[in-house]
């Protein structure tokens, strides 16, 4: 009864409403084609000079060698700047400046005082992180979203972390009284120019050493901007010296008689050369070399997240990552399903201008590297592996490579053995955990590995057996200043990051 009355009332209301509104028939439902904006980060924040000198003894100098080279933007092949090439005389100057700073200023300084400088540098990196991120992307080709959200925050994090150790070194290793080594010669690669600088410079300075740094020839600009920043921070002259150049300059740094410690990150071939050169000298050495990381996916893994992990593992920074998960081992029972998921995910990756905030995969760092990737991908095809690439357009200019999967790969294929250092994933299958371990370890390298399973005991079982410096479980490519990083076998020795990272820059009296 009450309900009927309500209905009558509302009929009246309804009539009134009908007059007030014009009916709009609902439109046909056509799917929306979604377009992302080309959302370019402005490069105005970076002001580039036409040419750069060497940073020696607290000032930028013209090189005695009188030689220079150009650095280009790999995204469009534009020349960015002319950079000095340091010859033996220049390296000699840099080492002398570092030696003097070590003897007179930085060595005798208390840890608490050193910490103040390093903290100041860390804060300045944070303040200027956008500028550094844009320059990193300009010079190196990595997507701005990575340099902005991953590289630079980690760079600042490393300086903060090691600044905190500078006045606590006596307590870092119980029973050990540490001393700095002296002058550290550091040679870093082009894949993470600022991050590798931070991994090396921050612990060296915190432990009381002075530094001669040689950045990679294709990515020298952020190191030079960093030098300028330390100058503004008032870091005493000679504590940090930056000598730019190619292999010859690097060789001059590592073989200099007055260098006490050599730290190198780069290819295994060059690492071997350095180690043989240093044999018989008293120089300390740490090497962080190549890798062919294994990513192992078990049947019970969280598959959709594993797909993301694999994508991140191999396509992060265009695959220019020494710890990239470039070999994928999938349990046979889910192989096809998993590969289908990967292929579908590959189709949604956005390849292109690294300065676009929506870009997932940016530019290959150099023509040489692009040639090398092409060579190995051709080898993979001629060896009979099946290639898959999404059908995406690449920019006309610049160095780009489509994200690539190889299925049907055998251990004996070159693409399963050699480090490609590009966005190329080799997919293999396995049947049992033992087989997965055996295949994953069947490489001269041993830098990284990933395990995907929901079974906790299997994670520990695998981690015990995988010969890799870092083993990630249900994730990949995670870095933190407090966590040590380094390799097994031909991936090098010595650890960077964490408390372990200090050891590489210290000598000690026991007791």
Partner 1 sequence: MTLAPARTSILPDRITTPTLRTFIRGVTSVDEVGAAERVAALSKRSIKRESKRAALDLIIRMMDLTTLEGKDTPGKVIQLSAKAVRPDPTDPTIPSVAAVCVYPAMVPYVVQATEGTGIHVASVATYFPSGQVDTKLKVQETRDVVAAGADEVDMVIDRGAFLSGEYFKVFDEVRRTKEAAGDAHLKVILETGELETLDNVRRASMLAMAAGADFIKTSTGKVSPAAKLDVTLVMLEAIRDFHDATGVKVGMKPAGGVRTSKDAMKYLLVLNETLGEGWMTPDWFRFGASSLLNDVLMQIRWLETGRYASPDYFTKD
Residues that bind partner 1 (CB under 8 A): 6-7, 9-11, 13-14, 17, 20-27, 29-37, 39, 145, 300-306, 308-309, 340, 348, 357-358, 454, 474-475
Number of other residues whose CB lies within 10 A of the CB of residue 12: 9
Give catalytic status of residue 322 as yes or no. Answer: yes
The closest alpha carbon to 214, from 180, 169, 251, belongs to 251
Going by the DSSP 8-state scheme, the letter that residue 24 receives in this structure is -
Exposure string for 305-336, b = 16+ CB within 10 A, e = fewer: ebbebbbbbbbbbbbbbbbbbbbbbbbeebbe
Nearer to partner 1, 86 or 342 (CB): 342
Sign of CA dihedral 363, 367, 372, 376: positive
Q: Report the nearest approach of partner 1 to the CB of residue 327 (Å).
A: 20
Instruction: Check 85, 136, 146, 288 and give the catalytic one.
Output: 288
Compute the C-alpha angle 401/217/396, nearest 5°.
Answer: 30
Helices 152-165, 193-206: axis angle to 10 degrees equals 10
Cβ proximity to partner 1: between 35 and 509 the closer is: 35
**SS3 category, 353:** coil
Catalytic residue, chosen from 41, 131, 217, 322, is: 322
DSSP state string for 112-140: HHHHHHHHHHHHHHHHTHHHHHHHHHHHH
Q: 91 or 311: whose CB is closer to partner 1?
A: 311
Q: Which residue has the tokens 């005991």?
A: 457
Q: How far apart are CB 33 and partner 1 at their closest, in Å? A: 6
- Pick the closer one to partner 1 by CB: 133 or 183: 133
Pairwise CA distance, residues 203 & 218, whole Å: 25
Distance of closest approach, residue 305 Cβ to partner 1, in angstroms: 3
Locate 218 and state its tokens. Answer: 């294709």
Dihedral (Cα; 125, 127, 130, 135), 10-degree rounding: -40
Minimum gap (Å) between residue 297 Cβ and partner 1: 11
Comparing CB distances to partner 1, the nearer of 82 and 455 is 455
What is the C-alpha to C-alpha distance for residues 176 and 385, in angstroms, rounded to an integer?
A: 53
| 365 to 143, 191, 270: CA distances (angstroms) | 11, 8, 19
Closest CB 41 distance from partner 1, rounded Å: 11
Q: How far is the CB of 313 from partner 1 (least distance, A)?
A: 12
Closer Cβ to partner 1, 34 or 276, answer by number: 34
Rounded least distance, CB 102 to partner 1, Å = 43
Q: Nearest-CA neighbor of 156 among 226, 106, 93?
A: 226
Taking the complex as a whole, the smallest distance from the CB of residue 500 to partner 1 amounts, in Å, to 25
Minimum CB distance to partner 1 smaller for 145 or for 467: 145
| 26 or 457: CB nearest partner 1 | 26
Nearer to partner 1, 290 or 319 (CB): 319
Say if residues 144 and 43 touch (Cβ distance below 8 Å): no
Is 323 in the active site? no
Residue 440 in tokens: 């994953």
SS3 at position 242: strand
In the complex, least distance from residue 9 CB atom to partner 1, rounded to whole angstroms: 7
DSSP state of 166: T
404: nearest Cα among 371, 382, 381, 429: 381
- Contact at 8 Å (CB) between 302 and 454? yes
Buried b (16+ CB within 10 A) or exposed e, 444-463: ebbbbbbbbbeeeebbeebe
Report CA 101 to chain centroid distance, whole Å: 30
∠56-142-194 over CA atoms, to 5°? 30
Q: Using alpha carbons, select from 252, 230, 255, 257 the residue that is nearest to residue 241.
A: 230
Catalytic residues: 288, 322
């Amino acid at each position: 009864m009450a309900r009927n009355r309500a209905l009558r009332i509302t009929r009246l209301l309804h009539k009134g409403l009908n007059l007030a509104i014009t009916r709009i028939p609902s439109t046909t439902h056509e799917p929306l084609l979604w377009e992302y904006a080309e959302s370019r980060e402005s490069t105005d924040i970076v002001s580039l000079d036409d040419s750069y000198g060497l940073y020696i003894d607290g000032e930028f100098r013209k090189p005695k060698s009188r030689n220079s080279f150009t650095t280009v933007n790999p995204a469009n092949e534009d020349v960015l700047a002319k950079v000095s090439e340091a010859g033996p005389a220049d390296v000699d100057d840099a080492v002398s400046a570092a030696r003097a700073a070590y003897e007179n200023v930085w060595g005798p300084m208390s840890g608490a005082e050193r910490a103040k400088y390093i903290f100041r540098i860390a804060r300045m990196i944070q303040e200027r992180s956008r500028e550094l991120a844009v320059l990193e992307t300009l010079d190196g080709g990595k997507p701005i979203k990575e340099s902005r959200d991953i590289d630079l925050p980690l760079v600042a994090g490393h300086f903060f972390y090691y600044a905190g150790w500078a006045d606590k070194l006596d307590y870092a290793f119980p029973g050990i009284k540490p001393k700095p080594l002296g002058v550290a010669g550091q040679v870093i690669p082009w894949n993470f120019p600022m991050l590798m600088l931070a991994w090396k410079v921050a612990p060296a300075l915190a432990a009381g050493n002075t530094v001669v740094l040689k950045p990679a020839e294709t990515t020298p600009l952020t190191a030079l901007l960093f030098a300028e920043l330390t100058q503004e921070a008032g870091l005493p002259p000679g504590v940090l010296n930056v000598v730019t150049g190619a292999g010859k300059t690097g060789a001059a740094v590592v073989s200099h008689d007055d260098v006490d410690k050599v730290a190198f990150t780069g290819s295994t071939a060059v690492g071997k050369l350095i180690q043989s050169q240093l044999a018989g000298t008293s120089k300390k050495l740490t090497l962080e070399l190549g890798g062919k990381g294994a990513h192992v996916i078990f049947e019970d893994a969280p598959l959709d997240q594993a797909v993301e992990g694999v994508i991140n593992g191999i396509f992060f920074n265009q695959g220019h990552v020494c710890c990239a998960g470039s070999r994928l081992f999938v349990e046979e029972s889910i192989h096809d399903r998993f590969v289908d998921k990967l292929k579908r995910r590959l189709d949604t990756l956005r390849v292109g201008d690294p300065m676009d905030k929506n870009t997932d995969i940016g530019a290959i760092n150099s023509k040489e590297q692009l040639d090398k990737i092409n060579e190995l991908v051709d080898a993979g095809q001629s060896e009979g592996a099946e290639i898959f690439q999404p059908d995406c357009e690449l920019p006309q200019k610049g160095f780009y490579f489509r994200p690539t999967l190889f299925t049907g790969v055998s251990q004996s294929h070159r693409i399963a053995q050699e480090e490609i250092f590009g966005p190329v994933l080799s997919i293999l299958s396995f049947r049992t955990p033992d087989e997965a371990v055996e295949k994953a370890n069947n490489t001269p390298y041993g830098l990284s590995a990933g395990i995907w399973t929901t079974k906790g005991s299997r994670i520990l079982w695998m981690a015990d057996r995988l010969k890799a410096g870092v083993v990630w479980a249900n994730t990949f490519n995670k870095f933190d200043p407090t966590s040590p990083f380094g390799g097994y076998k031909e991936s090098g020795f010595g650890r960077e990051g964490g408390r372990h990272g200090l050891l590489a820059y210290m000598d000690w009296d026991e007791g």
